[in-house]
Amino acid sequence: MKPSGFEATRSFAQKLDQQDPLAAYRHRFHIPRGSNREEWVYLAGHSLGLQPKSVRVYVERDLQLWQDLAVEGHFHGPQPWVPYIELLAEPSARLVGALPSEVVVMNTLTVNLHCMMVSFYRPTAKRHKIVIESNAFPSDRYAVKSQIQFLGYDPATSLIELKPRTGDTEIRTEDVEALIEREGDQIALFMLAGVNYYSGQFFDYMRITAAARAKGCIVGWDMAHGAGNVPLALHDSVCDFAVWCTYKYINGGPGCVGGCFVHERHAREFDRPRFAGWWGQDKATRFQMGPDFHAIPGAEGWQLGNPPVLAMAALRASLEIFDEVGMEALRKKSILLTGYLEFLLQQHPSHHFSIITSRDPAQRGAQLSLRLHHKGRAVCDALKKQSVICDWREPDILRAAPVPLYNSFADAYNFVERFIPIVEA
């Protein structure tokens, strides 16, 4: 359905929900309720996804195994813990468009960024620069600058920040390509967020990767806001690495273990520098406790310590749902749902807010970022009092994420119905 067919009425939103083939999945998540027992209009899945109801079953299985077998649970029971991580490889690979051997669930997002940069940021006197977007997530910026400094370079000369043109809110792909053509011979690592956390821009990562690799750059992507949000094809993109977290759109729970992709062409580059740990050791000799490290081929060879099973159990529950639905169906609803939210907002032209996220569905995921020109954070606080949960990003951005797995078209309608009177007051 095109936006021209939308109607700005509650009955139309209800009609869309009745026609939604994914509507039943909302009931497989815990929707928080306020003090009046009203369900929240929860549009903060880009910060923390809601809890699948099946999480408790998965986690309790491993709590029971711990209770019954203690340390023996590593090797015995219905699902021993030592090979547990392998259960997550295939569903994670399907989620990001990769081979199972290219994906590992480990650490947390920023730790994985550091692990990847240790291996793939290898600066030389000629080629030492790293490219990020100017409004990259702060943790990415901190990690990149610290790696530059750790290796004896100066961020003032080794960090390139991509910025939109004056008056634009998005970075144009042609401007990215122009930068690569102009400075590519000096760029050691090209590393953007697949979906920018602030603006919601979904970069053309395939086209950008091709341009950067043609100039000899290593390419990595932070897919924290991409994985589980937009369809990805990391293997086909031939980027060198990617990282993501699993607590946003993937609904793994607060601080859940992160994900990492390493392209198969690097699978047996055992001489590539890396930080090593015993869980990345060849599985056949891991428990021989020898003094020499021999990495597992593929992404698993970048593991450090043994993984947090209880966190992975929660993640298994959510990945099972993604496998049932598939990213193609989720993307179809996401485009419709985000488009409907945009349409509703457009029915209220205002000098008090503007949408900075792309109007092109191909260049955004399940997110609209609203720049508030009036009242600022007080709007976000007032929405919470009316059981609407978004989030605030300084200095003036309210982010709303209509997540297709559990948000409804009625959620979009209810958000706008409550937002407009607050922002216009």
Per the domain annotation, does 52 fall within a domain?
A: no
Among 302, 322, 342, identify where a domain stops.
322
Three-class SS state of 351:
coil
DSSP for 240-300, please give it. Answer: SEEEE-SSSTT---TT--EEEEE-GGGTT-TTS-----GGGB-TTTGGGT-SS--BPSSGG
Is there a single domain that holds both residue 68 and residue 11?
no
Per the domain annotation, does 37 fall within a domain?
A: no
174 alpha-carbon distance from chain centroid: 24
Q: What is the CATH number of the domain that holds 372?
A: 3.90.1150.10
Structure tokens at 390: 């978004």
Contact assessment for residue 294 and residue 281, using Cβ atoms and an 8 Å cutoff? yes
Per the domain annotation, does 21 fall within a domain?
A: yes
Half-sphere exposure in the Cβ direction for 228 (13 Å, CA): 32
The reported pLDDT for the residue numbered 4 is 63
What is the C-alpha separation between 47 and 390, in angstroms, rounded?
9
Is there a single domain that holds both residue 248 and residue 366?
no
Is there a single domain that holds both residue 153 and residue 198?
yes
Per the domain annotation, does 41 fall within a domain?
A: no
Is there a single domain that holds both residue 185 and residue 225?
yes
Is there a single domain that holds both residue 395 and residue 341?
yes
Q: What is the CATH number of the domain that holds 158?
A: 3.40.640.10
Is there a single domain that holds both residue 210 and residue 343?
no
Per the domain annotation, does 53 fall within a domain?
A: no
Is there a single domain that holds both residue 64 and residue 99?
yes
In the block, tokens 């996804």 appear at 49
Among candidate residues 6, 45, 4, 82, the one with its CA nearest the CA of residue 287: 82
- Parallel, antiparallel, or unpaired for β 258-262 and 353-355? unpaired
Is there a single domain that holds both residue 263 and residue 382?
no
Among 322, 340, 362, identify where a domain stops.
322
- Spell out the residues 6+ positions from residue 253 whose beta carbon is closer than 8 angstroms to its own: 51, 55, 247, 311, 314, 315
Per the domain annotation, does 392 fall within a domain?
A: yes
Peptide bond into 155 cis (omega under 30): no
Q: Which residues of the chain have pLDDT under 70?
A: 1-4
Is there a single domain that holds both residue 211 and residue 166?
yes
Q: Domain containing 84: what range? A: 59-322
How many domains is the chain partitioned into structurally? 2
The secondary structure of residue 44, as a DSSP letter, is B
Among 322, 353, 372, identify where a domain stops.
322
The reported pLDDT for the residue numbered 3 is 57
The reported pLDDT for the residue numbered 141 is 97
Is there a single domain that holds both residue 170 and residue 226?
yes
Contact assessment for residue 367 and residue 401, using Cβ atoms and an 8 Å cutoff? yes
Is there a single domain that holds both residue 331 and residue 289?
no
Q: How many residues does the chain have?
A: 425
The reported pLDDT for the residue numbered 374 is 87
Per the domain annotation, does 36 fall within a domain?
A: no
Is there a single domain that holds both residue 295 and residue 359?
no
